Amino acid sequence: MSQVNNPVAIDNDGSAVLERNVEPSKQLAHTVAEAVELYDVDRTAAHIAEGGYSRVALQFPDELLADSTLVSAALQERTEARVFILADTSYGSCCVDEVAAEHYAADAVVHYGRTCLSLTTRLPVVYVFGRDAVDVADLCAQCESELQGSRVLLVSDVQYAHALEDIGKALRGICKEVAVSRIAVQDCAYVPGAEDAAEPGRLWELEHPIGEYTMLYVGEESLTLTNLLVTQRCQSAFSYAPQTRTLRAESARVNRHLSRRYHMVQRARDANVVGIVVGTLAAVRYQSVVDALKQLIRRAGKKFYVFVVGKLNVAKLANFPEIEAYVLVACPENSLVDSKDFYQPVVTPYELLLALSRSHEWTGDYITDFHAFLNELDQRTDDDVGDEEDVPHFSLVTGTLRQARRYNDPRASSSRDVTVQSGSTEIAQYMGSAGAEHLLARAFRGLGHDDQEGEDSEPMLAVDGLSGIASKYTHETK
């Protein structure tokens, strides 16, 4: 991604924007021959020819865009398909951007770099992970003292998947047992709806319960590592970073992460107004999850709003101060947002289910997959969701009893309904409007709203305002 340095002050004349230095992404391949080797161009061309695709979208993450033109030229020489490059994806670059590809009538997508391996719904996908180097001897030397005689589950980030078999063979001389994971679509294309089609995801076979294994992750610190740590309950975990050649224990990091997530669950339980943020349009069953969350929040007597904001950031969500908690519907990796920089907590659908559940206690199990979440939700009854009517609950965040505001309960008192009046004439009544309540609670609600009740005020005539720009109006030049 291009990095912007030296932020611009708001009172300058704009010249800093034109003079700013922008660092381009690092180019890994300098010739077509290098691009063919690094990006599996021959294998990709074979998949395109086998599928008979005529319009192919090449999706690159920001850090690989510098090589995109070389790869595109190499594929154009080897296939009869028309290829074009996708950049600046609508959501996370780890997800296949089917929406952008369909804007150009693509009939297939080639996805490069890191991926969350989420299922797509419409377009065939060819995955190109890359083949980053791993020093197997150094990895085994560092693992010898930590993993001696252990049962090990070996997983990796996608760019190191090619080396897992070699690493597994080397570790079998040290460990009691080594289960090597594999990625189903590493050497084949994924075609939605095809019979016997390999589905994206990590697969492994274990002879014993997963709680008896130590996870060894090969790759740099990433959202993939975080997702694996919280969803797979191994007895311990280590990560090996090939770029820095360092081995690190991850158990303490998992405990800290889960503690932060549990705190956000408690904050979500205290929230009366929840924002549902749609963070993907490609993952299978995302719409079913959104609909299920609406029903869940409605049964709990809370108010919800649905937002589609593209890539998530603090500034976008800060525009809605009446929202007390957000639930993010995204791929398994992008849904685990570290919301310490956000003004309100951002939780996953499973965390919201825990927050609104009356009797279910968190055992440490974690669900980020849409299918597993919907199955878990089907097992809950209506009586298990929300607080009992007119019974306050004890907030672990504030340490006080809280009375929930029930927005969708027809039996709830209408005394909290917001009425907006002008003089003695009722203009409108907002039945259970969280936005209107927040507006009326503000000290300043806009021009004309601060007049005392019953006081007649003459309407003001329109007058000429200031002209120029904010840093120097025309009347200030004299």
DSSP output for 157-182: -GGGGGGHHHHHHHHTTTSSEEEEPE
Least confident of 35-39, 249-253, 337-341, 425-429: 425-429
pLDDT at 17: 45
CA distance linking residue 293 with residue 257, whole number of Å = 24
DSSP output for 423-454: TTEEEEEETT-HHHHHHHHSS---TTTTSPTT
Most confident among 83-97, 354-368, 427-441 (mean pLDDT): 83-97
**Half-sphere exposure of residue 357: CA atoms within 13 angstroms, side-chain side:** 17
Residue 404 has pLDDT above 90, yes or no: no
Residue 14 has pLDDT above 60, yes or no: no
User: Once rounded to an integer, what is the mean pLDDT over residues 83-95?
Assistant: 81
The pLDDT-based confidence of 3 (bands split at 50, 70, 90) is: very low
% of the chain at pLDDT higher than 70: 76
CB 234 within 8 A of CB 343: no
pLDDT by residue (tens digit) across 120-164?
A: 888 899 999 988 889 999 999 999 989 998 999 999 999 999 999
Nearest 5 degrees, angle CA 255-CA 257-CA 259? 70
Q: How high does pLDDT run on average in the chain?
A: 80
Phi/psi for 73 (5° steps) reads: -65, -40
Residue 368 has pLDDT above 90, yes or no: no
Q: Which residues of 265-294 are buried (b: 16+ CB within 10 A; e: fewer)?
A: bebbbbbbbbbbbbbbbbbebbeebbebbe
pLDDT by residue (tens digit) across 313-360?
A: 888 898 888 899 999 998 888 888 877 788 899 999 999 998 888 766
CB 363 within 8 A of CB 125: no
CA distance linking residue 178 with residue 169, whole number of Å = 8
Whose structure tokens read 């700013």? Answer: 20
Most confident among 96-100, 422-426, 436-440, 443-447 (mean pLDDT): 96-100
User: Once rounded to an integer, what is the mean pLDDT over residues 369-374?
Assistant: 85
pLDDT at 23: 55
pLDDT at 275: 94
pLDDT at 424: 35
Q: How far is CA 369 from the centre of its chain?
A: 12
Residue 25 has pLDDT above 70, yes or no: no
pLDDT by residue (tens digit) across 158-215?
A: 999 999 999 999 999 899 999 999 998 888 888 887 777 778 888 999 999 999 999 9
User: Once rounded to an integer, what is the mean pLDDT over residues 359-375?
Assistant: 79
Whole-prediction pTM value? 0.75
Q: Which of left, alpha, beta for 149 (phi over 0: left; psi -120 to 50: alpha)?
A: left
pLDDT at 45: 93
pLDDT at 12: 44
CA distance linking residue 45 with residue 386, whole number of Å = 54
pLDDT by residue (tens digit) across 28-86?
A: 777 888 888 888 899 999 999 999 999 999 999 888 888 888 999 999 999 999 999 98
Sign (positive or negative) of CA dihedral 190, 195, 198, 201: positive
CA distance linking residue 253 with residue 226, whole number of Å = 9
pLDDT at 446: 61
Residue 431 has pLDDT above 60, yes or no: no
Residues 6+ apart with CB under 8 A from 425: none
Residue 386 has pLDDT above 60, yes or no: no
**Half-sphere exposure of residue 101: CA atoms within 13 angstroms, side-chain side:** 26
Residue 444 has pLDDT above 70, yes or no: no
